[in-house]
Structure 1
Amino acid sequence: MKFLHTSDWHVGKTLKGRNRLDEQRAVLGEIVRIARDERFDAILVAGDLYETSAPSAAAQELVVRALMALRETGAEVIAIAGNHDHAATFEAYRPLLRAAGIQLTGDPRPVHDGGVVSFDARSTGERVNVAVLPFLSQRYAVRAAELLAGTPADNVGQYDQRVRDILEHLKTGFTPGAVNLVMAHLTVTGGTMGGGERAAQSIFEYHVPATAFGADPHYVALGHLHRRQSLPAACPVHYSGSPFAVDFGEQDNTSVVLSVEVSPTTPAKITDIPLTAGRKLRTVHGTVAELTGRAEEFGDDYLRVYIREATRAGLREEIQEALPNALEIRIDPEFAAPVTTSGGDRAVADRSPGELFAAYCAERTVEDKRVQALFARLHDEETSGV
């Protein structure tokens, strides 16, 4: 059987105030065209369909229409919530989308109640079992381990052990002679950040070793890290990455979806299918004259501009007039006047909440790493939408 693996759509994501919904519509349209051409048996969407837990009506309409268009190709469509999504809302819409033939899961579920989605591949008739594990926050991992794996809260280990327990439970839904898959939204130890992930939900205790999946799955379809990559494990473990560059930190990433062919008795064959609909992001350096002279070269790319001359009145306006797609304009550090802040020479706007808190602790000689871990956990709980 053959399926498509995609993740981290982040529909509704803006960049420096620029609405990117038309671009996201084009990217999802490209994925739908690929699905029509390739005639997949299933489409797996491994979380972070939205950028925020409270997406706009326009963002919700785009995602729902994309899921329905994928279903209209004849493929089974299975999607899970990521850390940017609102799990409870996914669960609320679950019955409605199921009536449309789309399996949407917001919370981890037991095997017998949606934790494993089973179907027969239309191309081969082979039985397929997909164990689905949406994103788990720290506080919900304990509850989920109790509900699904029967692990008493006082005996539950660290985050990775809780995830292991849940995966072991989900794999009880695998059957001999079938194609058995896992789809999850999480960080695997050793994975490379793409550049636009929510750091507090990707570091500290949130790592899960690739060994957690065991050797049973024919393929593990992951979401959360935005860079396309595979991880060494006893079975194929892959991130598809985001289908477009979410932020300037991802400007060098290659945007793809993955086509996976596998049978109960043959190894998975993975093919990267490039995506070209997303706008390119580019960081450029130069004087105003140099950059203005290169305007045609930049085309429609979104730009992060570093000006290689001292600041002066009207400089920003000159760049914006010459380069309308310049979303971020800065003075190159070599030409910038020294800036003194309580946390060092990096501007506050450039630092993540975790970095700012770490600087705050350093100023007050607080060296206990548990304090920063607690900050990350509290920040997670306030921003995860769970």
Structure 2
Amino acid sequence: MKILHTSDWHVGKVLKGRPRLDEQIQVLAQVVEVARDERPDLIIVAGDLYDTAAPTADATRVVTRALSALRRTGAELVAIGGNHDNGPALDALRPWAESAGITLRGAVRESVKEHVITGTTAGGEEWRMIALPFLSQRYAVRAVEMFKLTDAEATQTYADHVARLLSVLAAEAFADDTINLVTTHLTVVGGAMGGGERDAHTILGYAVPATVFPGNAHYVALGHLHRAQTVPGPCPVRYSGSPLAIDFGEAENTPSVSVVDVSADRTAKVRDVPITAATPLKTVFGTLEQLAALDAGEAWLRVFVREAPRAGLREEVQEMLPRALEVRIDPMMLPEAAATRPSARAAGRSAGELFTEYLAGKGHDDPATRDLFHRLHGEVS
């Protein structure tokens, strides 16, 4: 069978105050075109359909239309909730999804069978899937209680809980003569961060070893890390990555979807199909003179300016580079003494004197900034 694996759409994401809904529509339209060209038997959307747990009406419209368009390609479609999604809100859409022929799982439920999806391809290949939405640490304890684990098992770590849940589900779902699949949304140890993930859900107690996945799985379709990559494990474990760069930290990623060919008696073969519809993100460095000569095309820019800090510098850069969404001073331009300077003693000194000393310590001794401070301080006091 052929699978199209995608994740981390983050519809509704705003980049430095700029909405990107038009770009997200174009990206998802290209994903639909890839599905039409590839004609997969199954499409997996492995979480983070939205960027926020309270998506706007426009974001909801984009996601539901994209899911409907993917289903109309003729493929079976399974989508799960990620850590950015509101699981119960996704589950509230299940009546719509079921009427459209879409399998949607937003949150972990009490019944094991809720998370076991089965199907048969047009060619007669039977597949079975564990669909496990994002599981928070707090909910992991509740989940193990729902699955009636022992007290000893309930006091184990997050990774232990995930491993136990997957083991219970695999025992229910997998068979020797079927294509056995897993989709979930989490961080696997050894995976490379894409650059725009939510740190609280990628590090420390949320990272699990690849050994949590059953060895008889033919393919594990992951969401959460935004860089397309395969993680070593007891079975093929894969992040499809995001189909567009979510933030400037992801500018070096190659947005794509994964196309997987797999059968019950053959190792999964994966290839990436690039998604190019989004506007590129680019980080540039330079003096004002160097930036003036820059041709960045249509990319959105993060600019590190190699000039001494002064009032109005940001506005000069943005007038020069209208597509600069973020302007910062290059850290190389800040004096090393700024990090180690002694704290100013406030006793007997005016706010203006303290602020002037602060600016000097930061290498930002600019008269216009001092004048602005004095004026604002005078107005409020």
- Residue equivalent to 2:287: 287
Match of 1:348 in 2: none
Q: Distance in 1 between matches of 2:318 and 2:44?
A: 41
Gaps of 5+ in 2: 343-381
**Larger RCO: Structure 1 or Structure 2 (Cα < 8 Å, ≥ 6 residues apart)?**
1
Q: Show CA shifts across 1:74-117 (max 9, x none).
A: 11110000000001101111122111111110112466532111
Q: CA, structure 1 residues 15+339, in 2 after alignment: closer, same or farther (shift >3 Å)?
A: farther
Please point out which of 305, 319, 335 is paired with 2:333: 335
Moved more, 141-150 or 89-98: 141-150
The 3 A distance-change label for structure 1 pair 151 and 57 is farther
Which residue matches 1:193?
A: 193
RMSD over aligned Cα atoms = 1.9
- Whether the aligned pair in 2 keeps the contact of 1:110 and 1:170 (CA below 8 Å) is no
Whose radius of gyration is greater, 1 or 2? 2
Partner of 1:90: 90
Q: How does 1:181-220 map to 2 (within 5 A)?
A: 181-220=181-220
> TM-score scaled to structure 2, two decimals?
0.86
Q: Superposed, which structure 2 residues align to 1:1-386 within 5 Å?
A: 1-109=1-109, 113-122=113-122, 124-148=123-147, 150-152=149-151, 155-171=154-170, 172-294=172-294, 297-336=295-334
TM-superposition CA deviations, 1:276-324 (whole Å, max 9, x none): 1122111101111211211xx2111111101111133432222112211
Distance 1:339 1:15 in 2: 33
Contact kept, 8 Å, 1:260 with 1:270, in 2: the verdict is yes
With normalisation by structure 1, the TM-score equals 0.84
Change in 2 beyond 3 A, CA 1:183/1:149: farther
Structure 2: how far apart are the matches of 1:315 and 1:156?
55
CA distance, structure 2, for counterparts of residue 155 and residue 293 of structure 1: 61
2: CA distance, partners of 1:149 / 1:181: 24
Q: Give 2:145's aligned amino acid.
A: E
- Compute the displacement of 1:30 (Å): 0.5
Are the structure 2 counterparts of residues 115 and 149 from structure 1 closer, same or farther at C-alpha, using a change threshold of 3 Å? farther
Q: Is the 8 A contact 1:12 1:55 kept in 2?
A: yes
Q: 1:180, 1:219 within 8 Å by CA — same for their partners in 2?
A: yes
- Contact (CA 8 Å) 1:133, 1:183: kept in 2 or not? yes
Residue in 1 that maps onto 2:348? none
Q: Supply the distance in 1 between the matched residues of 2:323 and 2:312 (Cα, whole angstroms).
A: 17
Are the aligned partners of 1:149 and 1:166 in contact in 2 as well (CA < 8 Å)? no
1:195–1:149 distance in 2 versus 1, CA, 3 Å? farther
Distance in 2 separating the partners of 1:315 and 1:164: 53
CA drift of 1:145 comes to: 1.4
How many residues in Structure 1 have an aligned counterpart in Structure 2? 341
Aligned partners of 1:117 and 1:132 also within 8 Å: yes
Q: How far apart in 2 are the matches of 1:315 and 1:215?
A: 57
Cα pair 1:29 1:66 within 8 Å, conserved = yes
Deviation at 1:337, TM superposition (A): 5.9
Q: Percent identity?
A: 54
**1:150 Cα deviation from its structure 2 partner:** 3.3
